[in-house]
Amino acid sequence: MRAAKSAEECGPASGLAIVASTAEQNRLAQSLTAFAASLDSFALLSSVLDALPVAVYTTDAAGKITFFNSEAAAIWGCRPDVGSAEWCGFQRLFWPDGRSMAHDRCPVALAVKERRAIRGVEAIGERPDGTRIRFLAHPTPLFDGAEVIGAVNMLVQIGDRTDYFEQRLAAIVECSEDAIVSKDLNGIITTWNRAAERLFGYTAEEAVGRPVLMLIPDDRHQEEIAILDSIRKGNPVARYETLRRRKDGSLVPIALTVSPLRDGAGRIIGASKIARDITDQLRMREHRELVLREMSHRLKNVLAVAGGLIGLSARSAQSPKAMARAVQERLGAYSRAHDLTRGAGSIKTSLHALIHTIVAPYLDLHGVEANVIVEGDDAAIDASATASLALLLHEFTTNAAKHGALSVPGGKVRIGCRCSEGQVELEWTERDGPAIAGAPQREGFGSVLAARIVEGQLNGTLRYDWRPEGLVVLLKFPMESG
Spatial CB neighbours of 34, under 8 Å, sequence gap ≥ 6: none
Domain boundary among 277, 307, 326: 277
Confirm whether 426 is domain-assigned.
Answer: yes
Q: How many C-beta atoms lie closer than 10 Å to residue 226's C-beta? A: 10
Structural contact between residues 482 and 460, judged by C-beta atoms closer than 8 angstroms: no
Average pLDDT (258-274) is: 87
Do residues 269 and 298 both lie within one domain? no
Closest of 223, 215, 221 to residue 252, by C-alpha: 215
* Three-state secondary structure call for residue 263: coil
Confirm whether 28 is domain-assigned.
Answer: no
Do residues 292 and 389 both lie within one domain? yes
Interval 48-78: pLDDT, tens: 777 778 899 999 999 999 999 999 999 999 9
Confirm whether 386 is domain-assigned.
Answer: yes
**Separation of alpha carbons 389 and 450, rounded Å:** 10
b vs e for 357-368, b when ≥16 Cβ sit within 10 Å of the residue's Cβ? Answer: bbbbbbebeeee
**Separation of alpha carbons 357 and 351, rounded Å:** 10
Domain boundary among 243, 277, 311: 277
Confirm whether 64 is domain-assigned.
Answer: yes
pLDDT at 378 over 80: yes
Interval 208-246: pLDDT, tens: 889 999 999 999 999 999 999 999 999 999 999 999 999
Do residues 231 and 307 both lie within one domain? no
* pLDDT score at 335: 66
Confirm whether 452 is domain-assigned.
Answer: yes
Look at the chain and report how many structural domains it folds into: 3
**Separation of alpha carbons 327 and 308, rounded Å:** 10
* pLDDT score at 328: 65
**Pairing outcome for strands 372-376 and 412-420:** parallel
Residue 93 confidence class, pLDDT cut points 50, 70, 90: very high
Structural domain that includes position 368: 282-478
Helices (H), 251-363: 279-316, 320-341, 351-359
Do residues 307 and 423 both lie within one domain? yes
Confirm whether 169 is domain-assigned.
Answer: no
Confirm whether 164 is domain-assigned.
Answer: no
pTM above 0.85, yes or no: no
CATH at 109: 3.30.450.20
- Sign of the CA dihedral with 73 first, then 79, 85, and 89 last: negative
